[in-house]
Amino acid sequence: MDFTQKNGAVEGDERLDALLKKLYSFAPLDKYSFKQRLIIRAAGLGLFWLIRVIGATLKFEISGYQNHSENQPLVYCFWHNRIPIATYFWRDRGIIVMSSQSFDSEYIARFIQRFGYGAARGSSTRGARSALIQMIRAVKSGTSAAFSVDGPRGPIYQAKPGALLLAKKSGAAILPFSISLENCWRLPSWDRIEIPKPFSRAFVVIGAPFTVDDPDDPAIQAKFQGVLEKLRMESDTLSDSSNFKP
């Protein structure tokens, strides 16, 4: 390798290091008012401690864990209303998630980051596309990513194609899963986000990973939707909450 190649490799490594540092750091709050900054910090920290304390009391029953691998980057895919319990279950793996620039998303991002995740935030001009590019670079470097595939605003249980595009561009496999709680509180959000109650059982069903050749292929999109719904019904049946309608 000549000097130019070596210099380019060093610069590439430095850019990747800078990106990863950004992903795992809290975003500046300069654009928010003093009151909003207080709310973001308090809500993010409060939710973290709530889930951390309750999470330690939960009993997890897991099906399909053999489908998971620690030796390759994956794109974890699940439904948005399972964010709190999914965040706790897959904690401390350095997984990257996508976060928008909204006020609500900022305290959720901080809550997730406290559990060892990174947050790819869209820019004010390029939005989700900017965040997706960051995630592609991170996954190509060996880091896993996660998508709440019907977020951030629904419709509920209708998968969007962003995770498929990330899998195609990065070469990582999709890992679909579902987690259902035997006992939980449901927040008054568009999808009734679930907060586990202490000492509840949590039923985790992990599907088989699959690669994506063409994220625009209707057959791939239908498979993606179908697999996620099947896993949700399986975990809901185990938790006896399948009759719940948000």
Q: What are the tens digits of pLDDT across the range 42-92?
A: 999 999 999 999 999 999 999 999 999 989 999 999 999 999 999 999 999
* Residue 242: band (very low, low, confident or very high) from pLDDT cuts 50, 70, 90: very low
107: Cα within 13 Å, side-chain hemisphere: 16
Q: What is the mean pLDDT of residues 2-13?
A: 54
Question: Looking at the domain covering 3-239, what would its CATH class be?
Answer: alpha beta
pLDDT given at position 214:
97
Structure tokens at 192: 């009734």
pLDDT given at position 101:
80
* Residue 104: band (very low, low, confident or very high) from pLDDT cuts 50, 70, 90: confident
Q: Exposed, middle or buried by CB within 10 Å (0-12, 13-18, 19+), for 10?
A: exposed
Per-residue HEC secondary structure of 38-100 comes to HHHHHHHHHHHHHHHHHHCCCEEEEECHHHCCCCCCEEEEECHHHHHHHHHHCCCCCCEEEEC
**Secondary element (H or E) of residue 205:** strand 201-206
Residues 61 and 122: their CA atoms lie apart, in Å, by: 35
Q: What is the mean pLDDT of residues 205-232?
A: 97
pLDDT given at position 126:
58
Q: What is the mean pLDDT of residues 164-191?
A: 97
**Residue 240: which region, alpha, beta or left (left: phi > 0; alpha: psi -120 to 50)?**
left
